[in-house]
A and B are shown apart, each in its own frame.
Chain A
Amino acid sequence: MPDIQFDSLGDFLNMGGYAFYVWTAYLFTLVVLALNLLLPLRDRKRVLKLLKVRMQRDAAQSGQSGLKEGVEE
């Protein structure tokens, strides 16, 4: 394992004078990749919730229509 190339945290953050370039590049990458992971997780919850709501609605509707038929008879 090679040694750490920086003497201090400040030195590390400074990136040999290239702080703006290095950290902007890494920050942009991090944000884009994090969104790629978070969006499907959110979508999964949304889809499952939507499916459950639909099923409950369908069940309620078929229950009501069944009742009406019963009344008509």
Chain B
Amino acid sequence: MLQWLYKLGSPRHFYDMTTTFVRWLAIVTFVLLGIGLVWGLMFAPPDYQMGDNFRIIYIHVPSAVGMIWIYAMMATMAAMHMIWNIKVADMVAKSSAVIGASFAAVCLVTGAIWGKPTWGTYWIWDAKLTSALIMFFVYVGVIALRSAFDSETSGSKAASVLTLVGVVNLPIVYYAAEWWQTLHQPSSDLGGRADGANPPEIWIPALFTGFGLIGLVFLVVIMRTRNEILWRERRASWVQELAVREVSHA
């Protein structure tokens, strides 16, 4: 296991080990998302207060949770890159930023659209909403900062530092609704606790879209990291041989 993890730190082994994995992951991801979306949009019973509008939950909640966990992953990778100077960790961190910003955007937009008919407004400076918006800006800042440097090493150092500073916001987004009860409600028991308000017909589709989106995150991060490996290892003979093989076939 340790040896396997150690191997993942080598760009070439990361590339080789993900080649077939990425295809299987794509299939599993699309099946999970397909089931979750059809179930959530067509088969789940409407909410007794919000009617069919509640169906936004199947993308809003997983994207919000995803936005937070992608940040945790990106920060872990940034720390590993800073401490042990692992190149693959930096590439994964770089690859996480775009999908993280996308999830934050999806979370904010679907939340705003949901807010209009239920709260009567698209936006309000509530604690949870504001800290989520800050998280979106941190993601965008990390991407912009990295691309602002001509040197790859300076860019990744700066991005890692900003990523680690942004960790301060992580518990705030997570607990905002519990700490300050301004408007956004704390998470309801989608996990299906016995005393939870939501029956299985409601939360099971959310599990499908949730795991589907987790699959999608790993899919996108792995795809981007593989491209990054090809580019950064462009002088290695195995990459050059691969380029000759793949391009001539296309």
Q: Name A's B-contacting residues (CB within 8 A).
A: 1-6, 12, 15-18, 21-22, 24-26, 28-29, 32-33, 35-37, 40-41, 43-45, 47-49, 51-52, 54-55
| Residues of A contacting B129 in the complex (Cβ-Cβ under 8 angstroms) | none
- Decide if A25 touches B46 in the complex (CB within 8 Å): no
Q: A21 to B56, Cβ gap below 8 A?
A: yes
Q: Are A2 and B45 in contact (CB under 8 A)?
A: yes
Q: Assess whether A2 is in contact with B114, with CB atoms less than 8 Å apart.
A: no
CB atoms of B240 and A15 under 8 A apart: no
**Is the C-beta of B242 less than 8 angstroms from some C-beta in chain A?**
yes
CB <8 Å contact, A6 and B53: no
Check A49 against B102 for contact (C-beta < 8 Å): no
**Are A12 and B250 in contact, with the CB atoms below 8 A?**
no
Complex: A15 Cα to B240 Cα, angstroms: 53
| Residue from the list B43, B99, B114, B239 in contact with A25, Cβ < 8 A | B114
| Closest Cβ neighbor of A17 among chain B residues | B51
Could you tell me if A25 and B227 are in contact, using CB atoms closer than 8 angstroms?
A: no
B42→A48 contact, CB < 8 A: no
Q: Which of B131-139, B163-171, B173-181, B218-226 contacts A (4 or more CB under 8 A)?
A: B218-226
Contact B42 A36 (CB under 8 A): no
Which residues of chain A are within 8 angstroms of B41 by Cβ–Cβ distance? 12, 22, 26
Residues of chain B from 29 to 71 with CB closer than 8 A to chain A in the complex: 37, 41-46, 51-53, 55-56, 59-60, 63
Selected A-B contacts with CB under 8 Å, 11 pairs: A2-B45, A15-B55, A16-B51, A21-B117, A28-B113, A29-B63, A33-B106, A36-B98, A47-B230, A51-B243, A52-B248
Query: Do A32 and B52 form a contact, CB below 8 Å, given A48-B243, A48-B246?
Result: no
Given contacts A21-B117, A29-B106, A47-B231, contact A52 B247 (CB under 8 A): yes
Is there contact, CB below 8 Å, between A6 and B42?
yes
* Residue in chain A with minimal CB distance to B217: A36
The answer, yes or no, to whether B27 is at the interface (CB within 8 Å) is no
Q: How far is B250's CA from A41's CA once the two chains are assembled, in angstroms?
A: 13
Please give, as numbers and ranges, the residues of chain A lying within 8 Å of B220 by CB-CB distance. Answer: 36-37, 40
Partner of B45, one of A5, A25, A43: A5
Given contacts A36-B102, A40-B224, A55-B240, contact A29 B59 (CB under 8 A): yes
Partner among A4, A5, A22, A51 whose Cβ is within 8 Å of the Cβ of B234: A51
11 further interface pairs, Cβ-Cβ under 8 Å (given A21-B53, A29-B110, A47-B227):
A5-B44, A5-B46, A21-B113, A25-B60, A26-B56, A28-B106, A29-B106, A33-B102, A33-B106, A48-B246, A55-B244
Interface centre among B45, B102, B201, B243 (most CB of A within 10 A): B243
**A42 (CB) vs chain B CBs: closest residue:** B227
